[in-house]
Amino acid sequence: MSERKQFRAIKGTRDILPPDSALWNRVEGAARDVFANYGFGEIRTPIFEETELFARSIGVETDVVGKEMFSFFDPFDSRLRTEVLIEEARKRGSRATGVGEVILSFNFEEITLRPEATASVCRAYIEHGMHTLPGNVKLYYIGPMFRRERPQKGRYRQFYQIGAEVLGQSDAPAIDAELIEMLMVFFRRVGLDQTTLYINSIGDKNCRPQYVESLREELRRVKDQLGEDSQRRIETNPLRVLDSKVPEEQAIIEKLPRIADHLCAECRDHFVKLKQELKMRGVKYDENWRLVRGLDYYTRTTFEVTAAGLGSQNAVCGGGRYDGLVELLGGPPTKGIGFAIGSDRTILSIQEGHPEWKRELPGLAVFVAWMGAKAYPAAVQIARKLRDSGVSVELPAEEMKFKKSLGLADKLGARYALIIGEDEVASATYTLKRLSDAEQKKLGENDLLEYLESERRGTGA
């Protein structure tokens, strides 16, 4: 006999179940509302794209591209069908017989599950000629991203982001400030009050290269005192050394040259104006000169938001300006700025900081406790009417003993039990019992509908 296999979600992925999923919907709904008020429209891009799109945008030396992408060949790509492949290989003089060998001998397109969505949004902006649209193009997205990271609390291989991007011809600091204002309004709307916004400017292609060089020189001088990762980054990506959390490196990093002292006049001016704009809008921030971010496309403004109660994975949002990325991907000269909120961490932080979150969800309004064959059709009909008017109803599929029925209603968290027995059918009334205090009233159909509808409006359910 074969052993029964117990399937489990793959490491780093997870199921989001009720009632958590209701909180997810509430958070995503808040983002949709807030972003719409700021003039953003939703974009839905594919979950996978050409690997090269991400490699070019995010940078080949980054952890995301170097180590964390889920990439594969498309087995349904018509060019990859066995016969076609083998014939093609023969034509080109190969003696390969297996598909694997053939794939290796030709440069077929590789696909990657998106590790983030900024690159996809820029690709779509170019593909649909969105630079011809009036004003700035403001887009938001909500969906899963994939990175092969070591899973831990707040870090998953399939995680979710709520992101927003502004693309257009202007790089006015007011655009950065308005976007950040919108972000902080969102966090307040979902009840995340203990957040900190960090901002920085990492310069542009005029001033950053000189800074990176002087940083590299300084790092080479202290190389022996650094760990393996930082030593490697001196040559590949010295800015990332500033991100290091290794305790022994902190004192050394504090003494390194700072980008603020190397910004060109334009970048310095941009950063000063951004800070003035944030103050004007009442957005509180902390400057953090070490905030360089882990993706290569950033220029000038970078920012991050951290939240309480999350341990080491406490960044709930990251973002920044990426002027030049669209051009790098073959599009017209374009300025861009955006952010992505980590939904998983945002929701974890809400759950840890507000244990009452479950009580705030609408929940089940009515449990229909019906008894007797005659009561059943009446129960089905009233359930339908209540549901049509927006009231959430649970109708047991099989008859239950009265006590058991009320017990289940209670366990399901229903606010009311609607009792329908043969008496109720005969008198065309319903007995509505409020489960919190057992108060009961007899109501005709219209009064019942009206009462429950107004109750729904009152609870916001």
Residues that bind ligand HAM (CB under 6 A): 116, 118, 147, 149, 154-156, 159, 161, 163, 165, 294-295, 315-320, 322, 338-340, 342, 344-345
> Quick one: tokens of 401?
């003993």
Helix ranges, 259-318 (H): 265-280
Closest CB 387 distance from ligand HAM, rounded Å: 36
Question: Which residues, 6+ apart, have CB-to-CB distance to 259 below 8 Å?
Answer: 200, 201, 202, 203, 208, 211, 289
- The sign of the dihedral angle between the CA atoms of 31, 34, 36, 39 is negative
Nearer Cβ to ligand HAM (116/178): 116
Nearer Cβ to ligand HAM (86/315): 315
One-letter amino acid for residue 151 of the chain: P
Helix ranges, 241-342 (H): 250-254, 265-280, 325-328
Nearer Cβ to ligand HAM (27/102): 27
Distance CA 118, CA 121 (A): 5
Closest CB 149 distance from ligand HAM, rounded Å: 5
Nearer Cβ to ligand HAM (340/414): 340
Closest CB 437 distance from ligand HAM, rounded Å: 43
Q: What are phi and psi of 414, to 5 degrees?
A: -65, 145
Q: What are phi and psi of 200, to 5 degrees?
A: -160, 165
Nearer Cβ to ligand HAM (162/409): 162
Closest CB 323 distance from ligand HAM, rounded Å: 11
> Quick one: tokens of 413?
């968290």
- Edge to edge, the sheet with strand 366-370 lists 393-394, 366-370, 416-420, 430-434, 440-443
Closest CB 119 distance from ligand HAM, rounded Å: 8
Q: Which residue is nearest to ligand HAM (CB)?
A: 342
**Dmax (CA) of the chain:** 92
Closest CB 147 distance from ligand HAM, rounded Å: 5
Closest CB 322 distance from ligand HAM, rounded Å: 6
In this structure, what DSSP letter does residue 92 have? Answer: T
Please report which helix (H) or strand (E) contains residue 317, including its range.
Answer: strand 315-321
Nearer Cβ to ligand HAM (49/165): 165
Nearer Cβ to ligand HAM (170/389): 170
